[in-house]
């Protein structure tokens, strides 16, 4: 049964018209879902009984169940169970500018990045748009706070679930939906070129982040198998076209792995690769997991890498660390639940 949260306003309007009802019913339902945050169709008291019964027959209202929560300083991690007993994660980070939620877009991931816990476990299925919307609603309900920013950077590759992700964005961006501004939404991709091109044609001013993690094709292909399909020599021209077309600034994510991609040569090579493109580098200290061999770079090496980029006139930040006392790595909580308890 389809989740009501996966319906755009236009979808709902079409549904009510098909039921020989009025289009404005869709706006009424959206009001109950996203302003009053009801938890059952019976609470929609301005709808006729037969309308409510039809909604019950055609849509589900809640499919996610919170099964585990871990908390650290300014961060909370949530493990959800889906209707089919699969699990996904969401991470809430408290910043001075608001509450940012990192959500999952797939159950598992097929991109196979060697340093990523999510990529270690293959994709089971795509998440539906409604399940992604529910991640926001469930976390907001649990902590009693409004989610002001959403990042699609959890389990899964968003552009490998492109259609559902775009539907999700339409729902949360709509002023009658969650009314999250486009610039408060960020999509992270490992670089699926055809979808980046498709995305550049959409009207949303959503932020785009590129999971880069290496400054050349040889090293990137070693760390990220997707680079063998969409290598940097093809990806970078597409990103430059994207910036020219959309006038949006890119984020380049770069996880620093000890002795692998954190050398001075890598820093200089990265600066050369990114020179002239409107974007900035987000250096990310690695969250180690006992499932994978990689180690985090030392603080001194991270600082040295940062300094080189700065001297090369590349905009760069070091990501503030969250969750050092919890299962911080993406997919780690899911793995612990589904593997360690077997």
Residues 82 and 187 placed together within one structural domain of the fold: yes
- Other beta carbons less than 10 A from residue 337's beta carbon: 17
Residues 47 and 107 placed together within one structural domain of the fold: no
Q: What pLDDT, on a 0 to 100 scale, did the predictor assign at position 291?
A: 77
Confidence of residue 74 (pLDDT cuts 50, 70, 90): confident
Residues 92 and 235 placed together within one structural domain of the fold: yes
Number of domains into which the chain is organized: 2
Give the Cα separation of 128 and 126 in Å (integer).
Answer: 6
Residues 182 and 83 placed together within one structural domain of the fold: yes
Residues 51 and 72 placed together within one structural domain of the fold: no
Residues 119 and 13 placed together within one structural domain of the fold: no
What's the CATH number where 137 sits?
3.20.20.70
Angle of CA points 233, 208, 35, to nearest 5°: 160
Residue that terminates a domain, selected from 60, 89, 110: 60
Residue that terminates a domain, selected from 29, 45, 60: 60
Confidence of residue 63 (pLDDT cuts 50, 70, 90): confident
Residues 282 and 323 placed together within one structural domain of the fold: yes
Tell me which of 18 and 332 has the higher pLDDT. Answer: 18
Name the active-site residue from 13, 70, 89, 164.
Answer: 89
Residues 110 and 233 placed together within one structural domain of the fold: yes
Which distant-in-sequence residues (6+ apart) come within 8 Å of 306 by Cβ?
Answer: 283, 316, 318
What's the CATH number where 18 sits?
1.10.150.530
Q: Which of 178, 101, 155 is nearest to 338 (CA)?
A: 155
What are 138-188's pLDDT values in tens digits? 999 999 999 999 999 999 999 999 999 999 999 999 999 999 999 999 999
Residues 81 and 47 placed together within one structural domain of the fold: no
89 in catalytic set: yes
Tell me which of 341 and 50 has the higher pLDDT. Answer: 50
Q: What pLDDT, on a 0 to 100 scale, did the predictor assign at position 220?
A: 98
Name the active-site residue from 109, 116, 190, 330.
Answer: 330
Residues 146 and 24 placed together within one structural domain of the fold: no
pTM of the model: 0.92
Furthest CA-CA distance within the chain: 68
- Domain span at 18: 2-60
113 in catalytic set: no
Residues 141 and 260 placed together within one structural domain of the fold: yes
Residues 43 and 100 placed together within one structural domain of the fold: no
Say how many CA atoms lie within 13 Å of 164 toward its Cβ.
22
Confidence of residue 338 (pLDDT cuts 50, 70, 90): low
Give the Cα separation of 207 and 185 in Å (integer).
Answer: 6
């Amino acid at each position: 049964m389809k989740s009501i949260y996966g319906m755009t306003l236009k979808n709902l309007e079409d549904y009510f018209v098909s039921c020989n009802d009025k289009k404005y019913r869709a706006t009424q339902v959206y009001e109950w879902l996203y302003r009053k945050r009801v938890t059952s169709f019976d609470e929609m008291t301005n709808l006729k009984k037969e309308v409510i019964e039809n909604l019950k027959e055609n849509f589900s209202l809640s499919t996610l169940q919170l099964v585990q929560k871990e908390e650290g300083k300014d961060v909370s991690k949530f493990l959800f169970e889906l209707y089919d007993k699969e699990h996904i994660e969401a991470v809430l980070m408290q910043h001075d500018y608001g509450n940012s939620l990192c959500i999952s877009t797939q159950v598992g991931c097929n991109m196979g990045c060697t340093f990523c816990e999510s990529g270690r476990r293959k994709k089971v299925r795509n998440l539906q748009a409604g399940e992604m919307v529910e991640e926001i609603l469930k976390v907001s309900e649990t902590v009693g706070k409004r989610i002001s920013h959403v990042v699609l950077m959890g389990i899964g590759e968003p552009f490998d679930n492109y259609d559902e992700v775009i539907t999700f964005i339409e729902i949360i961006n709509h002023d009658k939906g969650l009314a999250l501004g486009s610039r408060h939404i960020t999509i992270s991709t490992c670089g699926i070129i055809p979808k980046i091109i498709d995305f550049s044609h959409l009207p949303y001013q959503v932020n785009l982040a590129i999971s880069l993690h290496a400054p050349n094709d040889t090293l990137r292909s070693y760390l990220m198998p997707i680079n063998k399909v969409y290598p940097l020599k093809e990806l970078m021209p597409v990103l430059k076209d994207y910036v020219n077309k959309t006038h949006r600034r890119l984020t380049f994510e770069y996880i620093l792995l000890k002795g692998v991609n954190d050398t001075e040569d890598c820093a200089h090579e990265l600066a050369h690769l990114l020179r002239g493109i409107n974007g900035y580098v987000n250096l990310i200290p690695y969250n180690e997991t006992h499932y994978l061999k990689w180690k985090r770079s030392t603080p001194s090496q991270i600082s040295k890498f940062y300094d080189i980029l700065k001297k090369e006139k590349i905009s760069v930040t070091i990501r503030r660390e969250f969750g050092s006392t919890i299962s911080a790595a993406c997919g780690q909580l899911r793995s612990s639940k589904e593997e360690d308890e077997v």
